[in-house]
Amino acid sequence: NAGVMQNPRHLVRRRGQEARLRCSPMKGHSHVYWYRQLPEEGLKFMVYLQKENIIDESGMPKERFSAEFPKEGPSILRIQQVVRGDSAAYFCASSPTGTGASRRTQYFGPGTRLLVL
């Protein structure tokens, strides 16, 4: 059973470009979470999605950032017009269906390291 997959693992963008980060949850998981780790900081929650629904985006910057989890395909975190401050490691996690189980373990991917030049 493959774990949470993220790609690309490393992404370099110039200021003003767009960054698209992809996350494929574990098989059978329908809950996806995105976290960001800025340099010298801990992991910080960004957004929680279920299939075709954003449940909680309270940790997401209001501008330039968006996330989706379509019915088919991976979850996408999109950053428009990137700035140097967006340089960070972005982690995706998934958890199984169901209220109780979904609030227990979140399984993490290896992250995407974004560098904005």
Partner 1 sequence: ILNVEQSPQSLHVQEGDSTNFTCSFPSSNFYALHWYRWETAKSPEALFVMTLNGDEKKKGRISATLNTKEGYSYLYIKGSQPEDSATYLCASLPDSGAGSYQLTFGKGTKLSVIP
Question: Which residues of this protein are in contact with partner 1, per CB under 8 A?
Answer: 3-4, 31, 33, 35, 41-45, 48, 55-56, 58-59, 91, 102-111
**Nearer Cβ to partner 1 (3/17):** 3
What is the closest distance, in whole angstroms, from the C-beta atom of residue 53 to partner 1 in the complex?
13
Place of tokens 């017009």: 81
Q: How many whole angstroms separate alpha carbon 51 and alpha carbon 83?
A: 29
Through-space distance between the first and last CA atoms of the chain, rounded to whole angstroms: 37
What is the closest distance, in whole angstroms, from the C-beta atom of residue 9 to partner 1 in the complex?
8
Query: 85 with 25: CB under 8 angstroms?
Result: no
What is the closest distance, in whole angstroms, from the C-beta atom of residue 56 to partner 1 in the complex?
6
